[in-house]
Amino acid sequence: MDKQITVLLLLQLLTGCSKMPSKEQVSIVNIADCVLDTTSGPRTISVSSSPGYPHFVSGIISCRSEPISGALIRVKGTSLTTRSDGQGHYQLDAPVGAILQVMMLSYNCKEVQVPQQGSLNIQLTESM
């Protein structure tokens, strides 16, 4: 069965609609990158084509090649957080494309996008 038809049938079952949406109403580019969100309210389903599945990202937080211990790393707009260890290392599950906010006292806050690959070293600058 075609993946687009499968999604349309799933939408019909979950929403209780007897009428199938037209191709103009629902367009699925890649079923592997889609997330069904049923938390929006009763009988409401949204399909997101942005990759929303977490994947492992890790790296080192540093300033001028010196590791920063205790930096807060947060996935923007969520409650997902971690801190860098004594050697500046961190690890976190975050969706590809999400924004990581890195904060530490005496340093400028930095925002970086989660890349496709799992490694992301982040350089902070000292605040004046």
Q: If we measure between CA atoms, which residue out of 9, 105, 3, 98 comes closest to residue 53?
A: 98
Cα separation, 128 vs 125, in Å, equals 9
β-pair type (54-63, 122-123): parallel
Residue spans per domain, the chain: 3-48, 54-123
The phi, psi pair for 66, rounded to 5°, reads: -105, 130
Per-residue pLDDT tens for 12-57? 554 455 454 444 444 444 444 444 444 554 444 444 434 455 689 9
- CATH among 2.60.40.1120, 3.90.1150.10, 3.30.450.40, 1.10.4080.10 for 54-123: 2.60.40.1120
Per-residue pLDDT tens for 88-127? 999 999 999 999 999 999 999 999 999 988 899 999 999 9
Instruction: Give pTM, 2 decimals.
Output: 0.59
- The C-alpha torsion from 110 through 94 and 86 to 88, rounded to 10°, is -50
